[in-house]
Amino acid sequence: MDDGVILSLADLNTLIDSLRSEGRRAIGPVVRDGAIVHDDIESVDDLPAGMTDEAAPGHYRLARRDDAALFGYAVGPHSWKRFLHAPVQRLWRSEGERAAARVVAEPLSQEKTAFIAVRGCELAAIAVQDRVLGEGETVDR
pTM of the predicted model over 0.85: no
Domain boundaries, the chain: 9-134
Give percent of the chain with pLDDT exceeding 70. Answer: 97
For residue range 76-128, list pLDDT tens digits in order.
Answer: 778 898 898 888 888 888 998 888 889 999 888 788 999 999 999 999 999 99
* Identity of residue 11: D
Secondary structure of 47-110 in HEC code, one letter for each residue:
CCCCEEEEEECCEEEEEECCCCCCCCCCCCCCCCHHHHCCCCCCCEEEECCHHHCEEEECCCCC
* Identity of residue 89: Q
